[in-house]
Amino acid sequence: MPTNDGLQLSGMKVVGNRWSMTLTANIYNLENHAEEAIEQNIPAHFVSSVRGEIYKLKVRPIVFIDNYPVVREICLIQPLSRQIFFQWFDYDVPLYDKINESSFFKTSQITNVGMVIYEDEECLHFYDDVLDLLRSHHGKPHESTFDDRLTRTIVGLEKDESCASTYFDDPRSSIGNLQKVRSGRLKIIRFPHDIKLENKISFANPGSLGYSLYTFRVTDIEIYHHKVNQSSASNVSDIHRNEFGEQSFSFIAPDGYYWSILQCNSNSSQKL
């Protein structure tokens, strides 16, 4: 039996929020199904597709002539899943995703996972200093405001509210070279402390219904067990073999989110 009902249909603006992002080659097919689900009274929180510009443009494009790199995103939250689907236009990152053309919704693997926290630099340092993730982006406080259409719509910002994002990538990824950017990104949305957010982190831990755990895979689990033990993480377990015979351990990161680390037996580097 689950320990609780999980995050259910809670929106994005919640401490404890977890979600995944997946690329699709046909965002409108997903949108059609999501709209029909709502009409059939299937429990869901749905935000229809919204356009966002990938780059901050200095000069507006000449429409119907210039290349115009944009992304469209939809947010679909159900009792057991919390997903953002996105489609790129006039833009490509070759190592970031691989769409399965035979899949029903023409989707890729999960490319990102996400969390919501209050501004706390010490919590962020855990991910690059202890877990050795690559901090590929760190937006200044108030980076995204109500005027940012994509963030406002997907996250649910209200007037006078703001947030910022930090990205942690696979260590083999790249900052600045799109040809080497890989999937496996951890996106952390940071809110200033003057915005009151509901804290539901206890509904997003193992045993809860729905998304409740992220796993980090490493090539030397003993090293990371020592590093996590020496950090400000809590509830660090011993290394045990899981139900699949893989060595793993779990812990609660300084931001309160529950994680597990899994031994990878291949020669690949660390990744989410």
Give pLDDT, residue 13: 98
Give pLDDT, residue 60: 95
Q: What is the pTM of this model?
A: 0.94
Q: Please indicate, yes or no, if residue 242 is contained in any of the structural domains.
A: no
Q: Please indicate, yes or no, if residue 32 is contained in any of the structural domains.
A: yes
Q: Please indicate, yes or no, if residue 47 is contained in any of the structural domains.
A: yes
Q: How far apart are CA 91 and CA 71, in angstroms?
A: 8
11-29 pLDDT, tens digit each: 999 999 999 999 999 999 9
Low-confidence ranges of the chain (pLDDT < 70): 266-272
45-96 pLDDT, tens digit each: 999 999 999 888 889 999 999 999 999 999 999 999 999 999 999 999 999 9
Residue carrying the six token digits 């070759």 = 94
Give pLDDT, residue 44: 98
CATH of the domain at 186: 3.10.180.10
- Strands 18-24 and 107-118, how do they pair? antiparallel
Give pLDDT, residue 271: 56
Q: How far apart are CA 214 and CA 272, in angstroms?
A: 8
Q: Extract the tokens encoding 24.
A: 């699709």
Give pLDDT, residue 265: 76
Domain count, the chain: 1
Q: Please indicate, yes or no, if residue 125 is contained in any of the structural domains.
A: yes
Give pLDDT, residue 178: 86
- State which residues form the domain around 114: 14-203
Give pLDDT, residue 266: 62
Give pLDDT, residue 41: 98
Q: Please indicate, yes or no, if residue 217 is contained in any of the structural domains.
A: no
Q: Please indicate, yes or no, if residue 235 is contained in any of the structural domains.
A: no
